[in-house]
Structure 1
Amino acid sequence: MTTRSAQLLRLVHARPGITRAEAARLLGVSTGAATELVGRLTAAEVLTEGPAAPSGARGRPTTVLLPHPAGPLVAAASITSENFQVDVVELGGTVVGSVSANHGDRDPAPVLAAVTDAIRALTPENTRLRGVGIAITGPVSRDQRVDSSGLGWHGVDLRPLKGEADVFVAGNDAMLAAAAESGRGAAAEASIALHVRVAAGIGGGIIAGGRIVTGALGAAGEFGHLPFGDPRRRCSCGASGCWGNEVDGTALARLLGRPAPPDPIAYARRVIASDDADARAATRTVAAELGRGIAGLVNGLDPDLVTVGGLGVELLEAAPDAVQNAYRDGLMTFRRGSAPPVVAAALGDDGPIVGAAEEAWGLVLDEVVSRLRGPA
């Protein structure tokens, strides 16, 4: 029964608004068994049933499976070098509360304190908060410590953000955006999906069979530090020739003969949106570098779909030919006949925080089912 309970919960989370009859069909159980499962999960204050949104059709009103009003919640936070956002998310992925603020602080203590305060303010019923998920700029180790050149944080322990929650997960923002696109975005139907996210550098992830490939140290997906760039250029990470330095806002500034901007993301957005001829030429050059690097990743990783997020979406819209031509030119010959499509991410800038929520919810659902099972 607990296995079926777990399957039902994951189904309701993945397909909010599903009916009990449809859930029974997908689970391969009788309607009576589905009724028993729903009753048990309702008694545990995890699920409930309620009327579907009005459709205008005649006949008996449809009821759907919904998160219980006293059910578990997850807090997800996205921390960048300029700001943070905290969302509280219920079963099914709906955001029920959100707050964001700028910080611009290279001292981690006040930032972590502000995020903790935001989580507490959004979850006054602390007993409902079961999980916390954090998406942050920079690689995160398996013991939940982050090294972020953008934030100026090195070996910072993120575990205090767990608070009183049962489960905690933290990861690189681009890697979690990859997970989100695979679960709820443009790569939902892909078996092996590659996500490339351009921000202040390049990150991403590979999702195989619905699972993130995190690597031996938990730091996979640092695609921007592949040596696809000029080997004479030293990166702040310590390596030389990093691809990210050819695609971000600093690359655009360099091409335009300008000093490195203090906010490379905002600067890149202004340049990409500009009608100035020099800006358009610089944008095409950077877009081609993006396409060429994606080709290298496809040659090496063999995905069936590539999603592009962050500034990559804007480069794809502003210079689609530059991206696609460089991508195809960089592919091995045998791949060109059926090249994996390169498409814009569906979740936009929300990708990292959605991914953090999804990873936390995965752990929370395991915990809920374990509690239903009771002591061994």
Structure 2
Amino acid sequence: MSGRAAVDRWRAAAEVLAEVRREPGITRVELARRLSLASGSATEITTRLRELGWVAESRAPATGRGRPTTALGPAPDGPCVVAVDLRYEGWRCAVTGLDGRPGPVRSGRYRRRDPDDVVAGLATVVGEMEAQAPGPVVAVGIAVAATVATGDPRPTDRVWLPSDPQLLTDAFDVPVSLGNDATLAGVAEVRTGAAVGAGTAVFVTVEVGIGGVLVVDGRPLAGARGASGEFGHLPFGDPDVVCACGARGCWGTGVGAGVFARLLGEPDADDPSGHALAVLERAGRDPDARAAAEDVASRLGRGAAGLVNAHDPDVLVIGGLGPAMRAAAPDAFGVAYGAGLMSMHREPGVPVRDAVHGPDAPLVGAAAVALDGATSAAGLATFDESRQSVS
């Protein structure tokens, strides 16, 4: 654990790295201007970050008179994080550098649906990826398809998922950040996706259930126990329907992937998401599928309006199956969304955008949050100390 003096020494460097992450290729002159740094301080800080391996410098294009400057970007062989997406059926992992872009994705299925076995297998995979990474792995970011409540983990019906933070953090030698997959997908969309530039954004994603997050100034609002964003359990649904969570009338019971089988009078599908996409695809030519798509799109639009009324965002982003649901019945969605909005939100209107990161969104968000920690003043101080102890 780094002392306060060591952490303080890296505060300005952490601010510089934050700017490089936001704008790769930023010049040293512009960095000094934005952060109110003297030229000598900017040079000293960037030199330390270069020696630490985080950044690389190259001569910036000449833009007029004056002394030439350099541009800063991620070092190709610099420190990395491993991003992990733990899903119901399996896992996905990727190594990510300072740019936050996942490299080639590895994936696999669980051998046994048991938390200890899942964690042991994951530790092996991450170790293999660490050995192949272009630079040292300094953190692991994990997205879990379960409610992750600080100090009080609440497993879903898939109780074998390791939602206990201690079980996961103890498996690795580097810091671990753990979050709900929908929350981290929302972070991805705000940082580098459909909601870039939004001060306040609501992200909602539809899969088997509904999740999401309210993101303010690039940071997810986690709630008192880290379990906010369970939008699928808002009482927007039929109050006579009991949800698996124990509540009645949850929104997710009328919009989640599994609802299509019920609406069409079919048996529950082994792959609810795949079945939902198949129904939505044939909605243009099958009256029963079209009726189901319009029903679900209407419920999605009405709930989206409720989220806008509650949070007053600059933008609302829909991910997962949501874009396909809206595209299959755009009029039904639009009418329900417009009717549910308070008049103050209708003109000029809060835009609804489709997510852009697709299935990689949890990985991108997990990497972003892991990098937040690794590039903080405390993270840089710890990494510097570890390098010195090795040398």
TM over 0.5: yes
Residue 66 of structure 1: aligned partner: 73
C-alpha distance after superposition, 1:11-61 (max 9, x if no partner): 112223333344334334355443322111112222222479x9xxxxxx9
Q: How does 1:243-258 map to 2 (within 5 A)?
A: 243-258=251-266
Aligned 8 A contact 1:139 1:172 in 2: yes
Matches of 1:75 and 1:48, distance apart in 2: 21
Aligned partners of 2:302 and 2:226: how far apart in 1?
26
- Structure 2 portions without partners, runs of 5+: 1-8, 62-67, 386-391
The 5 Å alignment of 1:164-179 reads 164-179=172-187
Structure 2 match to 1:91:
98
More divergent stretch after superposition (116-125 vs 263-272): 116-125
From 188, 196, 201, the counterpart of 2:209: 201
Which residue does 1:58 correspond to in 2? Answer: none
Q: Runs of 5+ in structure 1 lacking a partner?
A: 55-60
Asked if 1:129 corresponds to 2:137, the answer is yes
Q: 2:381 aligns with which of 363, 370, 373?
A: 370
Whether the 8 Å CA contact 2:102–2:364 is kept in 1: the answer is no
- Say if 2:107 is the partner of 1:100: yes
Contact 2:316 2:351 in 1 (8 A): yes
Work out the number of aligned pairs and report it: 367
What letter matches 2:203 in structure 1? H
Check if 1:152 corresponds to 2:159: yes
SS state at 2:17 partner: helix
- For the pair 1:41 / 2:49, whether they are aligned, the reply is yes
| Residue pair 1:139, 1:146 contacting (<8 A) in 2 also | yes
**1:222-261 alignment to 2 at 5 Å?**
222-261=230-269
The answer (yes or no) to whether the contact 1:76–1:87 under 8 Å persists in 2 is yes
1:103-149 Cα offsets, whole Å, 9 max, x none, are 38532233222222211111117982211111111210213845122
TM-score by length of 2: 0.86
Q: Aligned residue for 1:18?
A: 26
Q: Secondary structure at the match of 2:73?
A: strand
> Counterparts of 1:40 and 1:228 in 2: how far apart (Å)?
53
Q: d(CA) in 1 for partners of 2:187 and 2:86?
A: 17
Amino acid at match of 1:152: V
| Counterpart secondary structure, 2:346 | helix
Contact 2:81/2:371, CA 8 A, preserved across alignment: yes
Aligned counterpart, 2:358: 348
Q: How far apart, in 1, do the equivalents of 2:94 and 2:110 lie?
A: 17
For structure 1, which segment, 106-115 or 283-292, has the greater mean C-alpha deviation from structure 2 after superposition?
106-115
**Equivalent pair of 2:118/2:162 in contact (CA under 8 Å):** no
Separation in 2 of the partners of 1:159 and 1:218? Answer: 15
Partner of 2:64: none
- Note if contact 1:194-1:307 (Cα within 8 Å) is conserved in structure 2: yes
Per mean C-alpha deviation after superposition, the further-off stretch among 266-275 and 117-126 is 117-126
- 1:282 corresponds to: 292
Choose the corresponding residue for 1:317, options 317, 322, 327: 327
Shift of 1:286: 0.3
Residue of structure 2 in register with 1:339 after alignment: 349
- Greater shift after overlay, 102-111 or 252-261? 102-111
1:213 aligns with 2:221: yes
Q: CA deviation at 1:355?
A: 0.9
Q: 2:114–2:161: 8 Å Cα contact kept in structure 1?
A: no
Q: Which residue of 2 aligns with 1:361?
A: 371
CA contact (8 A) 2:88 2:161 kept: no
Q: CA deviation at 1:324?
A: 1.7
* 1:76 alignment partner in structure 2: 83
TM-score, normalised with respect to structure 1: 0.89
Q: Render the CA deviation track for 1:60-97: whole Å, top value 9, x for unaligned.
A: x9964233355321111111111210111111113244
Percent of residue pairs bearing the same amino acid type: 41
The alignment yields a C-alpha RMSD, in angstroms, of 2.6
Match of 1:57 in 2: none
Q: Distance in 1 between matches of 2:152 and 2:108?
A: 23
